[in-house]
Each structure stands twice: as structure tokens, then as C-alpha cells.
Amino acid sequence: MNWLLGLVMLMAACSIGYLLWRMLGWRLRRHRALADLERVADMDDLARLLCSFSLKSNGRQAATLGEWQQRMQKEIEMQGLSELTRTLEAALYGNGQTEFGRVLNQARQCLATARPKP
């Protein structure tokens, strides 16, 4: 009888651990990405960081900003995603007149609003 109680307690502990990981895991990944933004030196670094960002634990790096944007639109709710992608692509491949600090702040605000879709 004691072994059955132990088994039930072990299953309950695993279930609680799994639920905590689901609730906190994406928040930790978002927090880590926001902290990594502080070490970004230029537009290329910012693009690489964004392409590797995902709230999923097994998220793979996107090859392009467009691919990353499409994946984010499927996976998460994020304010300003389209604008951020357009601004960064214009800075990287356009006239290059965009101020880095402004794009970095835009990325910071965008990532801060990231939440998984229900």
C-alpha cells in the first residue's frame, strides 16, 4: 500500500513539475532573449538574435527574418512584429539610414510583449 501512495505522489510531483515548466519555460526564454539584446552590437547581430529567438524549447534558428516572422506569427502573440521585421530589413538591405538604437528599442518592446498562443 505504501508503494502505491509513493507512486501516486511521484506522478503528482512529475505533473506539477511539467506544469511549472510549461508556465515558466517560455518566460525564461523571453527573459534570456531580452538580456541578450543588451549585448547586440549592430544590425547583423540583432538579426541573428531575432532569427534564433523562439518561445519553444526546441525552436530552431530561422534562415531569414521573413521565415522567422512567419514562424512567430504561427507560434506567438507579439505586438509590432511586422513593423520590426520591416524596419530591420530596411536597415540591413535598404538605404541603411535607420538608427540602430531605435531599432534595438523596437526589438526590445516587441520581445517584451511575446506570449505563446493558446
Question: What are the average pLDDT values for consecutive 10-residue runs of the chain, which has 118 residues?
Answer: 80 76 83 95 95 88 95 94 94 83 95 92
Tell if the pTM clears 0.95, that is, is over it: no
CA angle (85, 67, 105) in 5-degree steps: 25
As beta bridge partners, residue 116 has 76
Pairing of strands 76-77, 115-116: antiparallel
Taking the alpha carbons at both ends of the chain, their separation in whole angstroms is 40
